[in-house]
A and B are shown apart, each in its own frame.
Chain A
């Protein structure tokens, strides 16, 4: 078993099979596109591709792997919309890098840590998206703290449950 040592603390590094690596993000994208047809508020508050990005990044604990995972998932999400491709890509790249870097330094296996990490990264994601969309693409964006925090909490709750399910697909290296 490979063990990564960081500041004297032992953290485990996981890997995933190829079907899981491809299938889970695709499933998340598919669900994100389909569920709002039945539950319109879903798209406003929940970002499944972001949760998957955070999960893979934290489990792999490799910043390069994390940022690439985030970039690919974000770009795919951009392609389903009509806005310029790259806004979600940039935001999720930053989140992937941050989550994997944090995963190296902290124990993010317990539910409480996962909740806080997801809440924090949701807000970071929203901030990066807002900045890029407004600053680079000149899209009309309005920032709402109540909505951001509410959505962050919703994602954090869902993330804790989702990570617990996705943990089953982890393979020790």
Chain B
């Protein structure tokens, strides 16, 4: 007996070790519901052993990369900046159109008592590692439970969804990518509104399943989340259809190119808080695209300001003209200025003009902040061109009645400076403002 054991010792040990591992596997498969809990501790050890090195390497890599990109490699930045500004112009116009559509949708949702899900809070995290295997498509991010990340939270980039949090450790979290075989996401096609289930395949592709084969699905159609999985809010971009073929059991096999590049993930956003609320149609009046366009067109500053000023003094109706000028002023002030701030600024400008006649801005009412064209309160973000002046600084608090006077804080183009807190002090012009007034002398400023 001893000679047999001695002779086959290696083989016996091999069989024993294999048997133990098979046993362990069988237990995990049997208790798949609590699998993560049972194996959590040893996974933590493995993750703790590997992630510090990854974290350090990512830090070094980012540091050297930043040094190169921020200091040495600035070729073409000026041209790019110009191009981006042009893009911002286009997007601003588009934003106005979309804001109108969104408001209309909200009104309709209110009528139907829809509930909406909003992304309330996200945590930005950096991808620091992967499983290192094509059988397990997961990545590790450098934020965990300490940052409020929990299991089953959605993970996305600005391009589209990435996956969900599978396990959250104190300082690290494991994210299951949507390209993994075990992943499943509720999705719908944007135009046809067909719903399906998004799944990963063994070779890392993403397919949309459960769409009946008699449906027409065009290649190139956008795929969005449907919200049916209770993880991803509805309407997040998933990708586009790249190929449609016949699948099994009367279903189509639809291949998807993901919007987020899953093979080159660096930074992601974890959706830590969703908010569900009843849709409400807010009492918003919208800035029209033509208003935005008008702001960007060149004006004749000195002349118009002078005319505006004289009109304010003479007829007490300068509120209208300054209102027409104000959006540009809002843009020029820098900082993130909303339309409402711009309107408040216009009211302040109006009050400043009015002060010339009455000297009593303190008697003004908030109604003055209303745009005569009916535009107010649309949260259009205007990007900075100049740094914002602190409230109370000479330029931020004009003291004279001449809106065009540079020494009193007016912009060189004749528009009035507005402090950041301008919207808290709206004043009412003495006369009702005209609808869409054309500033005198500003012939290039169509409304």
Contact = CB atoms under 8 A, between A and B. Distances in A.
B46 interface: yes
Interface string B24-42: 1110110000010001001
Given A30-B53, A136-B29, A89 B10 contact: no
30 contacts: A33-B50, A34-B53, A34-B130, A37-B127, A37-B128, A40-B263, A40-B264, A43-B131, A43-B132, A44-B204, A63-B13, A67-B14, A68-B17, A76-B49, A77-B132, A79-B42, A79-B46, A80-B50, A80-B133, A83-B136, A85-B25, A85-B28, A86-B28, A90-B21, A93-B14, A136-B22, A136-B25, A136-B26, A139-B135, A141-B202
A140 B181 contact: yes
Contact of A64 (B10, B138, B167, B263): B10
Contacts, number: 144
A90 B18 contact: yes
A112 interface: no
Interface string A33-49: 11111001001100011
A28 to B, nearest CB: 9
B138 A82 contact: yes
B47 interface: yes
A133 interface: yes
A81 interface: yes
Interface residues of B, number: 52
Contact of B45 (A79, A132, A142): A79
Interface string A11-48: 00000000000000010011011111100100110001
Contacts of A139: 135, 181
B14 A97 contact: yes
Given A82-B182, A136-B26, A67 B13 contact: yes
A63 B14 contact: yes
B54 A33 contact: yes
Nearest to A151: B134
Nearest to B129: A33
A99 interface: no
Contact of B46 (A37, A44, A76): A76
Contacts of B24: 85-86
A29 B132 contact: yes
Given A82-B174, A90-B21, 9 more contacts: A30-B53, A34-B53, A34-B54, A37-B129, A43-B134, A67-B10, A85-B42, A94-B14, A129-B135
A133 B136 CA distance: 12
B18 A94 contact: yes
Nearest to B44: A79
B147 interface: no
The 3 closest A-B pairs by CB, nearest first: A81-B136, A79-B46, A32-B132
Given A43-B133, A84-B29, A140-B181, A89 B21 contact: yes
Nearest to A136: B25
A19 B264 CA distance: 33
Contact of A81 (B10, B13, B135, B265): B135
B130 to A, nearest CB: 5
Interface string B343-386: 00000000000000000000000000000000000000000000
A97 B10 contact: yes
A35 B43 CA distance: 20
B166 interface: yes
Interface in A69-110: 71, 75-77, 79-90, 93-94, 97, 101
A82 B29 CA distance: 12
B161 interface: no
A81 to B, nearest CB: 3
A26 B54 CA distance: 12
Given A84-B29, A85-B39, A140-B202, A71 B57 contact: no
B203 interface: yes
Contacts of A67: 10, 13-14, 17
Contacts of A94: 14, 18
Contacts of A44: 134, 204
A171 to B, nearest CB: 23
A32 B204 CA distance: 17
Interface centre among A26, A34, A40 (most CB of B within 10 A): A34
B133 A86 contact: no
